[in-house]
Amino acid sequence: MRKLSRYLKDYKRESVLGPLFKMLEASFELFVPLVMANMIDVGIRNHDGAYILKMGGLLLLLAVVGLTCSLTAQYFAAKAAVGFSTALRNDLFHHINRLSYSEQDVIGTSTLITRMTSDVNQVQSGLNLALRLLLRSPFIVFGAMIMAFTVNAKAAMVFVVTIPALSVVVFGIMAFSMPLYKKVQRQLDRVTQATRENLTGARVVRAFNRQEEEIQKFDDSNDTLVRFQVFVGKISALMNPITYVLINLGIVAVVWVSGKQVHEGIITQGQTVALVNYMSQILVELIKMANLIVSISKALACANRISAVLEEESSIADPVAAAGENRSSGRLAGAGADKRDGDFAGAEDTPLKVQLEHVNFAYKRAKEDSLSGINLKVEKGQTIGIIGGTGSGKSTLVNLLPRFYDVREGAVLIDGQDVRTYPLARLRKKFGMVPQKAVLFQGTLRENMQWGKEDATDEEIYRALDMAQAREFVENKGHGLEMFVEQNGKNLSGGQRQRLTIARALVKNPEFLVLDDSASALDFATDAKLRRAIREGTKDMTVFMVSQRATTVRGADQIVVMDDGMIAGCGTHQELLHSCELYREICLSQLSKEEVQ
Instruction: Pick the most confident of 197-201, 372-376, 538-542.
Output: 372-376
Distance separating alpha carbons of residues 53 and 57, to the nearest angstrom: 6
Tell the CATH superfamily of the 2-310 domain. Answer: ABC transporter type 1, transmembrane domain (1.20.1560.10)
CA atoms within 13 A on the CB side of 168: 5
Distance CA(340)–CA(321), nearest Å, equals 11
pLDDT number for residue 322: 54
**What would the pLDDT profile of 409-459 be if each residue is shown by its tens digit?**
999 999 888 999 988 888 889 999 888 888 889 999 999 999 878 888 999
Beta bridge partners of 361: 371
Please report the pLDDT score of residue 244 as a whole number. Answer: 80
Tell which wins on pLDDT, 346 or 250.
250
State residue 72's pLDDT score: 94
pLDDT tens for 518-537 read: 877 788 888 888 888 888 88
Q: How far apart are CA 585 and CA 98, in angstroms?
A: 42
DSSP state string for 120-146: HHHHHHHHHHHHHHTTHHHHHHHHHHH
Q: What is the model's pLDDT at position 265?
A: 79
Mean per-residue pLDDT, 523-552:
86
pLDDT above 80: residue 341: no
Domain parsing of the chain, residue ranges: 2-310
How far, in Å, CA of 584 to CA of 573, rounded? 9
Question: Rounded CA gap, 90 and 314, in Å?
Answer: 18
Question: Mean pLDDT across the stretch 9-33?
Answer: 89
pLDDT at 566: 92
Range scoring the smallest mean pLDDT among 67-76, 90-99, 145-154: 145-154
Alpha carbon 131 to chain centroid, angstroms: 25
pLDDT tens for 244-270 read: 888 788 888 888 888 888 878 788 888
pLDDT, tens only, 131-181? 888 888 888 888 888 888 888 888 888 888 888 887 788 778 777 877 787
- Give the pLDDT band (50/70/90) at residue 346: very low
